[in-house]
Amino acid sequence: MIRRTTWIILAIFVILLGVVWAFPSIKGKLSASTKATATPETKFLVNLDEKNIQSLHAEDRAGKVVGLGRDANGVWTLLKPPGKQIDLAAAESGVTQLLSLPITLTLEPAFDPASIGLNPAAYTITLDLMDGKKMVIKVGKLTSIKNGYYTQLDDGPVTVVNNYSLDAFLNMLDHPPVLETPTPTVSATATLTDNLTTTPAIPPSPSSTVTPAATNQP
């Protein structure tokens, strides 16, 4: 008669055998599930290092332009409007927004550019690179749900990019990165003092001198 301990050992062996047999199948399902839920890689409209840009210009359909360029030390300067001191922090922030535009959708090649404001473009952004090459970004209309702009880089496909990031860059057309010089203010005390005039003292006239009365001598 088989002892109880033998039955227990046999049962454990059968269980282990089943686990070994089923493990490859379980592993394959877990691997497939992991692949299915993997996060897609984010693609950007401009895949470029900021240091490779020599200058850039943005222009709207009405002809309004803002331009940035690098000086001999590689620091951004304001080309347009000319003769203004640049707000470097604002300029660098705008360029960063331009170079971090995530693509949310790529349209089919047969899509008509004119119907989405790309021919002619609402905005044109031109990048002049250090190696002498040039990149042109055309910006069209907002999407119907107002969550992105239709764009096209050179002769590439029409894409949709995040509108908040692009608006942060296009805002420089209305508000160029110009360093505002504080206007000196005049204190109220100084103004009041300047407005006051000192009235010179008027000396007494000879006619106003009092002559003592004559006394009769006895």
Q: What are the tens digits of pLDDT across the range 147-158?
A: 999 999 999 999
Per-chain mean pLDDT for the chain: 80
pLDDT score at 17? 64
Q: How many residues does the chain have?
A: 218
pLDDT score at 16? 67
Closest CA relative to residue 59, chosen from 79, 83, 87, 73: 79
Let me know: does 173 contact 158? Beta carbons within 8 Å: no
Q: What pTM, to 2 d.p., does this model score?
A: 0.67
Q: What are the tens digits of pLDDT across the range 159-194?
A: 999 999 999 999 999 999 999 876 666 555 555 455
Assign 3-class secondary structure to 69-82: EECCCCCEEEEECC
Let me know: does 149 contact 166? Beta carbons within 8 Å: yes
At 50, the pLDDT band (50, 70, 90 cuts) reads: very high
CA distance 151 to 138: 6
